[in-house]
Structure 1
Amino acid sequence: MFSHSRNVAIFGGNFTQVTVLQHGARGIDLLQDASSPSAIHNSEERFPPPKCHENTRVAIIEQLMRWILGHENRDALIMWLLGPAGAGKSAIAQTLAELCNSMKILLASFFFFRTDPTRNHSRSLFPTIAYQLAINLPDARDFVVKVPEDDPMVFTRSIEEQLSSLIINPLQELYLSGRPSSPSDPYLVIIDGLDECGDAAMQISILQVIAKSFSACDLPFKFLIASRPEMHLTSMFNSRWINPIFARLALDDNFLPEDDIRLFLRDSFDEIRETHPLASLIGYPIWPSPDTIERLVRKSSGQFIFASTVMKFIASARRLPTASLDIILGLNPSNADAPFAELDALYINILSSVSDIKRTMSILGFLILSDTLQAKLTTTRFIEDFLMLSRGDSHIFAGELASVLTLGSSKSGVHGTVNLLHASLSDFLLDQSRSNQFALDLPEIHAHLACMCFRALGRYFVAKDFASIVMLKLAYPHVQENLVKHCSVAAPTPGLRNAIQEFSHDPLAVNPKSKQYLESTPMVVAAIRATSFHDAEKLCAPHVAMFESFLSEKIGHYYSNPTLTFIAAAISTPCQLPSLAYDSAISDFLGRAETREAEKVDHNGLYLFSFFFRFDLGNAYKEFLAHFLTTEARSGHCVLTGQHYSTAAELCLKYLHKLRHYPRTDEEGDKRLMEWALECLPSLLDQSIETEALVRSA
């Protein structure tokens, strides 16, 4: 407040400091929140990024630069850089991004990565590009940031709408404003790893949206898209309609990758001789021999991933470099028709040397078969706790597999994050024809992971010490995401049966007021039913009975309140609940005083308001509850009756009548609620009995 002031004396009084944000501050903040910083080429989270070794890939970079600068393929809006796994696409994209950034012609970059939940989907793609557009093209900033300021929900729209609203429309406004395009303006957008974004349909959708949107407007931008030559992407790029605006560059033998690999190997061996802790024990004046380097070049089959993995293995401080090289040289020669044959042999060799293969496959199975793993779930601490390993096991695992994964640093310096270096390792382990005895036995691994989920969930509800509560709260969303999937694939092992039978969900032993308790029981029942046990219904019967007893006790308090009766009836209909924020439209619909009173009951009961306002309870709970309330054999005296449906229909009709005669200013909220009420009303009326109050309301 008084920066740069001198000799100031103030006695008494009150001070108020007012900070005025410049126009666009909110918009750029919204863009930043919707973006994925780890996807940008110079992100700290990607450090150190894969990058071309010095003086390698020169011909490829030069050809791409000729296209970027307009010296060839001038009509190509999109350049597809394609190559097999491990060919070095990401390294080329990174090197090109840094080069173009230094030349001030890089507009934006986005690096997809399959195992990073912040950048393995399309939701943040165009917000991240738009954010970089606002930063790298300052004249466009006001046009870009105005979009989320005017429509904060733009990030929930379709990717086509996002591209149009956040990027194309602002750019068109910029150029229509009278500012001519300058040759120095950034105009290249790099999208790497498209095949690691979501599913095939989403990848095709991204391509179609970019191609159709930019080909329909006159904007001076180019897209470099790198991916594996997956069948669906190849078919898309072979489409007749995209051919006029597209060119391809395949990473094949035409670029003499063996020359680059040879240079990379020589430089890497030089570095090992200079920096390895055991370099003084190498003992040979010339190591390795030129013939050995040529042998490694041939075994690479033109794939940089082989050379890179080999050198990581040889550079490991766990053994003498000459001994590591001898292991590599013992591999069989590659077959001309199997470019990954030597990589597979190397993976088998690395896995053969681990001290505990069961522990290794358990951790690899967790990393590969779990959906939406966040970074905090791949720390050595979490892996050990979730898989019930001994302290230090994950560090040993990471050290033994250092040539195919990394152990990142952490703030404490103890519990780093385990990251698989290559998607090809997953491909290898999931393909038994390649990995043989090291293939992940999917039914057995899923059964093991399902056991771990049941045990983690059981510990979550009885944990007392703070450290366990924190760790198991991290595990709970993971269990939600994966338990049913694991059970549906799992082998019916004795271990899984024991985990199910030992799992306790007694509401007297846990906190039944927690939302997690309410939603986890239906999830557990669904998971048990998804197993291949012949007596799955018998296994889940105790959980069903215990939970239905709990529901019967709670639901009795609901039917004395018209608001809660309405919500219970609405949940039993097939209509999708509105899931609006708690606003005036909702409270007006249910009645303000009645809503406050109903919430007190609901907060100590079944949390039905959560479906209405936030939709933060799972569908499994809603479906379980709906079936329970409408099946007399299960709910007995708590079953929804025609009288209950009449009460609900009456409230619905009163709201529609009130809205028709006394419209409010909250048009959007009223519109959404009215549409839902009109959709829900027929289901309520069909099951109602005719009452005098209902007739009056109609």
Structure 2
Amino acid sequence: MEKPEGLTVAKATLVSAPEAPTPSFADVGPSTAATHRRTPPIEHTATVSVFPHAQNFRVNRMHVDSSQHVYNTQVTRMNGWDKLLDNIASNALHDSSARFDAPKCDEDTHVEITKELVDWIQDREGPKRLLCMTGAAGAGKSALQQTIAEECSDSNTLGSAFFFSAADPTRNNLSCIVPTIACQLGLHNPALRDAIGKAVEDNPLIFKKRLGTQMESLIVTPFQRVCESGRLDSSTFPHAILIDGLDECSGEDNQEELLSTVKHCLLDKDLPFRIFITSRPEWAIRTALDNEPEGYLYQPAYHIKLSDMYDATAATAERSLIYGPRRETSRSS
């Protein structure tokens, strides 16, 4: 067996006490000689530290005998779930300590649109499962996203959230977004967590793969398999996936890759997630949402254009920002 780096096996030697000398029959009487027995050796039990100073590994089914051999031993430095945790961006969580002063809507602002967004998320049977909100800097996109995240968390509908930040190297790129989303989803269901961990164990290089491969391996396939096994009920599973500040992900190609991956891996599959993405109206999201042949999100997504001059408190009940003009039946229902 190959020993883990930096680990040594301490040796223990068992020493027996010297035997008492056997007395001569000439020195003892007949009765004494008849009853004399050799003094048995004294056994000493030594406690040894097999792997002194070792950490971050497990030893399964270990047996050490007096010949100092180790049999049938498995040493695992880190399981799949632990490796996943090493590849997440904890600063991107909606309740991360790094975002303790995150902006959110005041009670009297964005009231109408906040309600519409929450209603859209809670409507699991709605025809479109992606909503994109674009707006200039200062329009209140991140404040809305934070408010929605907190409300979804309180109602147990928040599956995961990821807040990009151009100033934070752990969350201004795509390297951690899929592991971070997968981790949050796995925390909602033990069977899903195990399936995600096994996916990492089966492919330890998964974090170096392209984004679509990561999403298929760490989210789509584990979720589908656990649902098929009956260990997860998709109709009650927290299903909101929130992504804020797509424009703060460096590189327009990376932004486009994330949008196309969301479509091919989440929207095109029979998954229950409802995804809410906010961004400045940069090239990647404008092109994807455009009513042109290359606008691959034009049909499957709702699009809200949030102006920095938008007055949420003056929103009219005659028009839905998500669905367009309201029908009389909708208003009366």
Report the TM-score when normalising by structure 2: 0.68
Q: What SS does the aligned partner of 1:243 have?
A: coil
Q: What SS does the aligned partner of 2:101 have?
A: coil
Aligned match for 1:166, one of 193, 200, 218? 218
- Matched with 2:82 is 29
Aligned match for 2:120, one of 53, 67, 77? 67
In the superposition, relative to structure 1, how do residues 56 and 216 fare at CA in structure 2: closer, same or farther (>3 Å)?
A: same
Aligned match for 2:101, one of 48, 62, 71? 48
- Matched with 1:248 is 303
Q: What SS does the aligned partner of 1:190 have?
A: strand
**Structure 2 CA distance for aligned equivalents of residues 254 and 199 of structure 1:** 28
In the superposition, relative to structure 1, how do residues 17 and 102 fare at CA in structure 2: closer, same or farther (>3 Å)?
A: farther
- Matched with 1:112 is 164
**Structure 1 CA distance for aligned equivalents of residues 114 and 59 of structure 2:** 43
- Contact 1:195–1:228 (8 Å) recurs in 2: yes
RMSD: 2.7
- Matched with 2:176 is 124
- Matched with 2:18 is none
Matched, 1:178 2:211: no
The Cα offsets for residues 191-218 of structure 1, whole Å up to 9 and x where unpaired, read as 1000010111110111011112223211
In the superposition, relative to structure 1, how do residues 254 and 46 fare at CA in structure 2: closer, same or farther (>3 Å)?
A: closer
- Matched with 2:30 is none
In the superposition, relative to structure 1, how do residues 69 and 179 fare at CA in structure 2: closer, same or farther (>3 Å)?
A: same
- Matched with 2:188 is 136
In the superposition, relative to structure 1, how do residues 28 and 20 fare at CA in structure 2: closer, same or farther (>3 Å)?
A: same
The correspondence of residues 334-353 of structure 1 with structure 2, limited to 5 A, is: none
Number of matched residues? 249
The Cα offsets for residues 655-674 of structure 1, whole Å up to 9 and x where unpaired, read as xxxxxxxxxxxxxxxxxxxx
- Contact 1:37–1:43 (8 Å) recurs in 2: yes
**TM superposition shift of 1:246:** 0.5
**Structure 2 CA distance for aligned equivalents of residues 186 and 93 of structure 1:** 17
Q: What SS does the aligned partner of 2:160 have?
A: strand
State the AA in 2 paired with 1:181. D
**TM superposition shift of 1:237:** 1.1
- Contact 1:75–1:244 (8 Å) recurs in 2: no
Matched, 1:87 2:139: yes
Aligned match for 1:14, one of 34, 47, 66? 47
- Contact 1:93–1:190 (8 Å) recurs in 2: yes
Q: What SS does the aligned partner of 1:226 have?
A: strand
**Structure 2 CA distance for aligned equivalents of residues 21 and 235 of structure 1:** 53
**Structure 1 CA distance for aligned equivalents of residues 270 and 309 of structure 2:** 34
Q: What SS does the aligned partner of 1:122 have?
A: coil
- Contact 1:52–1:92 (8 Å) recurs in 2: yes
- Matched with 2:240 is 188
**Structure 1 CA distance for aligned equivalents of residues 157 and 276 of structure 2:** 13
**Structure 1 CA distance for aligned equivalents of residues 48 and 104 of structure 2:** 54
In the superposition, relative to structure 1, how do residues 25 and 184 fare at CA in structure 2: closer, same or farther (>3 Å)?
A: farther
Aligned match for 2:148, one of 90, 96, 115? 96
Q: What SS does the aligned partner of 1:114 have?
A: coil
Aligned match for 1:58, one of 92, 99, 111? 111
The Cα offsets for residues 205-250 of structure 1, whole Å up to 9 and x where unpaired, read as 1101111222321110111100011233212112454233200122
**TM superposition shift of 1:125:** 0.8
> Where is the helix percentage greater, Structure 1 or Structure 2?
1
The Cα offsets for residues 235-281 of structure 1, whole Å up to 9 and x where unpaired, read as 21124542332001222389524769xxxxxxxxxxxxxxxxxxxxx
> Where is the strand percentage greater, Structure 1 or Structure 2?
2
State the AA in 2 paired with 1:37. S
- Contact 1:93–1:226 (8 Å) recurs in 2: yes
In the superposition, relative to structure 1, how do residues 118 and 254 fare at CA in structure 2: closer, same or farther (>3 Å)?
A: closer
Matched, 1:223 2:275: yes
Runs of 4+ in 1 over 6 A off after TM superposition: 21-25
Q: What SS does the aligned partner of 1:249 have?
A: strand
The Cα offsets for residues 351-374 of structure 1, whole Å up to 9 and x where unpaired, read as xxxxxxxxxxxxxxxxxxxxxxxx
**Structure 2 CA distance for aligned equivalents of residues 194 and 122 of structure 1:** 10
**TM superposition shift of 1:89:** 0.8
Report the TM-score when normalising by structure 1: 0.34
**TM superposition shift of 1:27:** 1.3
The Cα offsets for residues 324-358 of structure 1, whole Å up to 9 and x where unpaired, read as xxxxxxxxxxxxxxxxxxxxxxxxxxxxxxxxxxx
State the AA in 1 paired with 2:164. F
In the superposition, relative to structure 1, how do residues 240 and 231 fare at CA in structure 2: closer, same or farther (>3 Å)?
A: closer
**TM superposition shift of 1:14:** 1.8
- Matched with 2:198 is 146
**TM superposition shift of 1:20:** 5.3
The correspondence of residues 257-336 of structure 1 with structure 2, limited to 5 A, is: 257=312
Identity across aligned pairs (percent)? 35
The Cα offsets for residues 278-300 of structure 1, whole Å up to 9 and x where unpaired, read as xxxxxxxxxxxxxxxxxxxxxxx
Q: What SS does the aligned partner of 1:214 have?
A: helix
**TM superposition shift of 1:100:** 0.4
- Contact 2:139–2:310 (8 Å) recurs in 1: no
- Matched with 1:39 is 92
**Structure 2 CA distance for aligned equivalents of residues 182 and 127 of structure 1:** 20
In the superposition, relative to structure 1, how do residues 159 and 253 fare at CA in structure 2: closer, same or farther (>3 Å)?
A: closer
**Structure 1 CA distance for aligned equivalents of residues 96 and 272 of structure 2:** 26
Consecutive unaligned residues in structure 1, runs of 5 or more: 1-10, 261-698
**TM superposition shift of 1:167:** 0.6
- Contact 1:104–1:184 (8 Å) recurs in 2: no
Consecutive unaligned residues in structure 2, runs of 5 or more: 1-43, 52-56, 61-75, 316-333
**Structure 1 CA distance for aligned equivalents of residues 283 and 58 of structure 2:** 53
State the AA in 2 paired with 1:244. Q
State the AA in 1 paired with 2:311. L
State the AA in 1 paired with 2:190. P
**Structure 2 CA distance for aligned equivalents of residues 249 and 236 of structure 1:** 14
The Cα offsets for residues 90-133 of structure 1, whole Å up to 9 and x where unpaired, read as 11111111110111111111100011111100011101111111
